[in-house]
Structure 1
Amino acid sequence: MRPVSDRFLDAVRGSHQAAFSARVVAPGQTGVNPTGTDILINGGDVRLDGDAADGVRSTLDLTTPGKGMWPGRATDLLAPYGNEVFVRRGIQYAIGQTEWVSLGYHRIDDIDQPDAPDGPIQIAGRDRMAGIVDGRLDRVRSFPPLTTRGAMLATLVTEIYPWATIEWDDPFVRDAAIGRQIITENDDRYKVCDELVKSVGKIWWWDHRGVLVVRTPPAATAPSWEVNHGQGGVLVSMARRLTREGAYNAVVATGEGADTATPVRAMAVDASPQSPTFWNGPFGKVPRFYSSPFITTYNQAWDAASNMLAKSLGLPYSVDFTAVPNAALEPYDTVRVRYPGRSELHVVRQLTVPLTVQAGMPASTREQTRILIGGA
């Protein structure tokens, strides 16, 4: 969960004055208070998706007054040629006292004015991963075995964003060599970076500060927030679903590459008898397979397999709820969902933070069961 005070979390549960801010900024800034030009917000939202296939975790849909704002030149404020929109939502405690929560930086991708020339302008934006996805490799690249993981990722990222700040949660993993020559045989920059990160059991995204973070998926331990009915509650509505679709209970991770006669291999399974997807239970055996040229040791294969499996355990029971907005919540946060007769731990997968006072915050989760991952 993004850093906020206890006062903020308490205020969400009662009557409070929400505040909103959107600022158009030049690319290259980081932090939670960049310089730029503030624009008014008529409506919109920020959608966060921890499972996005293209890695774009945060997308923006914002409507602003359009009179005199339509760009006539490439350098104009809303022209989709590199400028970003930095968005915040907060709580105003008193005049001049607002606690803000950053919702991140979003590159302006599209603008639309259905009622020209003076009607509202609709802005669509995506976080900085969109630049990595768009910035396809223009030639085959080769990285020698002694290249560190951190150096390889930095090279591929800073070719697109020379000013990028990259944070790894484990310097040892960052500074270890990739171990074999890597030749990029396709032009997909994002895929190469994603394989590098996944091969060591990490996930990566551009966070609310505009920083590229590389992290181990967070463990579902104590809940960071409670979504509940009743007095002081924030739960507005809830729906739930049971399905086998997209569920698996094992991951087989292997290395690949011409310089390895026998690729390394590791298999992680759901080893908890209490889990609904127990490997040796009635759910059946449903493995997923993953291979990467970056996997050169058994430990790397195990880390990749176990962390990929940990991200999915808890399926197939999922809950969708709408709550009073808490802008501090993020994908992979653990929440306690409490309603009459039941209390459950869930991991947030997607959520939408509204930029108006009228709307609630829809979120999708999966139930977190006891995690016990074993080998097979």
Structure 2
Amino acid sequence: MGRQSDRFYRSIRESHQIISWIDAITPDQEVIRLPAIDGQVDVDRSAAVRRKLSCQCIDPTGLLTPRANGEVLTPYGTELRAYRGVRYSSAEDDWEVCPLGVFRLSKSSISESNTGSPIIQLEAYDRARSVARDKFKTPYTITTGTNAMTALKTIIKMTFPDCQFDTITSTVTTTAPLLYEAGSDPWEAVYALARSMGCEVFFDVEGRLAVLPPHDPNALPSPDFTYVEGQGSTMLELGKEFNDEGVYNGVIVVGESVGDQLPPVRGEAWDENPTSPTYRLGPYGEVPLFITDNLAKTEEQATAIAKAQLALVLGAASKLAITCTVNATYECGDIVRVKRAKSKVDGLYSVEAFSVPLRGMTQALTLREQRPTP
């Protein structure tokens, strides 16, 4: 979760004045600020492109309203940065905002009436979509002995040469060439490389590429935010669902790669908690997710990948959907505590999907239960 001041977190629990805007960044890096009158950012951990922006802005001067291709608010290279925060008082500089993401403009449309300025509707996606659209133009090879993180960064820099990174250090290397056909998706290659290192990969709210391991269910941090019932609660509605569709309690990773002389390896990770409803030896049975990974060359590597993937799927049978007052600082994977006696909810949950309205006072969160796996 993005770190704002204590004053900010106190304010969002109370009545406060919203401040929000969109910065349009032209291809030559000129920054143009647009007032946002409506819209939201949607974030989904399971989506290939994690963040999407849909918003309505006004152009009081009329200078930015698109008239032809290639102008600032047409989808030919312009990036948008969205912000939401709190205005503490009427003083000019007494406010605080947090970033909601860096987005490549995909679509713009204009509507107007006789009563006011034209309204500009914008749709944009985070930088992962740009990487995916920038297909390999010719067959692409990652050579033997290449560090996986180095290979990943090299692919990203083909689209964003000046990209900044937030990554771990990895010792995983290729033992045979990895070959990609012309026209194949570079973001899929990046995702596979990150998975081989036991990580998830996404562009964060500052536009940096994050390659980081998920939280270990056996060493969960203190919750980033707490939703409890009673006076002052910021949770307005709660829904609870149990569903076994697509729910796994184990991950089996098979490491095999065409072109090297190493035998295939295998690693497993399971829900080993006897108190868990998806305990592998309980009534739920064994429901494994199988993954083939080209970079897993030892049993230890395969097991590490399996454990990381299990952390991303375990607990998916038990989900919460809550409506609450807006906390714009969330990132997927943040840990929250939810307690509601009537619904018999009291536990730790990871944030899997959420929305951040630019002007509204409530947001929707989708949460996944977090359970240790002894």
Could you state the TM-score of these two structures normalised by the residue count of structure 1?
A: 0.91
Deviation readout 1:329-349 (Å, 9 max, x if unpaired)? 121111111223542221110
Decide which of 106, 110, 120 is 2:103's aligned counterpart.
Answer: 106
Decide which moves more: 292-301 or 255-264: 255-264
Q: 1:200 touches 1:301 (CA, 8 Å); kept in 2?
A: no
What is the 5 A alignment of 1:145-160? 145-160=144-159
Equivalent in the alignment of 1:122: 121
Equivalent in the alignment of 1:179: 175
Equivalent in the alignment of 2:88: 93
Q: Within the alignment, does 1:349 sit opposite 2:347 as a pair?
A: no
Aligned-pair RMSD on alpha carbons? 1.9
1:312 is displaced (CA, Å) by: 1.3
Q: 2:22 touches 2:80 (CA, 8 Å); kept in 1?
A: yes
SS of residue matched to 1:183: strand
SS of residue matched to 2:263: coil
What is the 5 A alignment of 1:162-241? 162-169=161-168, 171=169, 173=170, 176-185=172-181, 187-219=184-216, 220-241=220-241
Q: Within the alignment, does 1:340 sit opposite 2:336 as a pair?
A: no
Query: How many angstroms apart in 2 are the aligned matches of 1:371 and 1:208?
Result: 31
Structure 1 spans left out of the alignment, 5+ residues: 30-34
SS of residue matched to 2:316: strand
1:222 is displaced (CA, Å) by: 1.7
Q: 2:267 touches 2:303 (CA, 8 Å); kept in 1?
A: yes
Which segments of structure 1 move beyond 6 Å, counting only runs of 4 or more? none
The one-letter code of the counterpart of 1:288 is: L
Q: 1:90 touches 1:327 (CA, 8 Å); kept in 2?
A: yes
Equivalent in the alignment of 1:366: 368
1:276 is displaced (CA, Å) by: 1.1
Decide which moves more: 312-321 or 252-261: 252-261
Decide which of 28, 32, 41 is 1:37's aligned counterpart.
Answer: 32
1:277 is displaced (CA, Å) by: 0.7
Q: 1:275 touches 1:314 (CA, 8 Å); kept in 2?
A: no
The one-letter code of the counterpart of 1:129 is: A
SS of residue matched to 1:248: coil
1:223 is displaced (CA, Å) by: 0.9
Decide which moves more: 114-123 or 297-306: 114-123
1:159 is displaced (CA, Å) by: 0.8
What is the number of equivalent residue pairs in this alignment? 361
1:150 is displaced (CA, Å) by: 2.5
The one-letter code of the counterpart of 2:54 is: D
Deviation readout 1:97-144 (Å, 9 max, x if unpaired)? 112111111110011234489641210000011111111112211222
Decide which moves more: 148-157 or 124-133: 148-157
The one-letter code of the counterpart of 1:352 is: S
1:227 is displaced (CA, Å) by: 1.6
Query: How many angstroms apart in 1 are the aligned matches of 2:35 and 2:139?
Result: 45
Equivalent in the alignment of 1:32: none
The one-letter code of the counterpart of 2:165 is: I
Equivalent in the alignment of 1:140: 139
SS of residue matched to 1:268: strand
Q: Within the alignment, does 1:65 sit opposite 2:24 as a pair?
A: no
SS of residue matched to 1:222: coil
The one-letter code of the counterpart of 1:62 is: C
Query: How many angstroms apart in 1 are the aligned matches of 2:156 and 2:282?
Result: 43
Query: How many angstroms apart in 1 are the aligned matches of 2:133 and 2:321?
Result: 32
What is the 5 A alignment of 1:204-283? 204-219=201-216, 220-258=220-258, 259-260=260-261, 262-283=263-284
Deviation readout 1:146-202 (Å, 9 max, x if unpaired)? 212222112211111111112212x2x0x5432322122461211111111101110
Q: 1:28 touches 1:164 (CA, 8 Å); kept in 2?
A: no
1:265 is displaced (CA, Å) by: 0.9
Residues 241, 28 of structure 1: CA spacing in aligned structure 2 closer, same or farther, 3 A cutoff? farther
Q: 1:66 touches 1:113 (CA, 8 Å); kept in 2?
A: no
Q: 2:255 touches 2:292 (CA, 8 Å); kept in 1?
A: yes
Equivalent in the alignment of 1:6: 6
The one-letter code of the counterpart of 2:352 is: R
Query: How many angstroms apart in 2 are the aligned matches of 1:24 and 1:344?
Result: 41
Residues 140, 265 of structure 1: CA spacing in aligned structure 2 closer, same or farther, 3 A cutoff? same
Query: How many angstroms apart in 1 are the aligned matches of 2:271 and 2:160?
Result: 39
Equivalent in the alignment of 2:331: 330
Query: How many angstroms apart in 2 are the aligned matches of 1:77 and 1:116?
Result: 22
Q: 1:83 touches 1:108 (CA, 8 Å); kept in 2?
A: yes
Decide which moves more: 317-326 or 57-66: 57-66
Could you state the TM-score of these two structures normalised by the residue count of structure 2?
A: 0.91
What is the 5 A alignment of 1:306-317? 306-317=307-318
Counting aligned pairs with the same residue, the percent is 28
Residues 300, 28 of structure 1: CA spacing in aligned structure 2 closer, same or farther, 3 A cutoff? farther
1:262 is displaced (CA, Å) by: 2.4
Query: How many angstroms apart in 1 are the aligned matches of 2:135 and 2:292?
Result: 22
The one-letter code of the counterpart of 2:251 is: V
Q: 1:28 touches 1:163 (CA, 8 Å); kept in 2?
A: no
Query: How many angstroms apart in 1 are the aligned matches of 2:20 and 2:261?
Result: 54
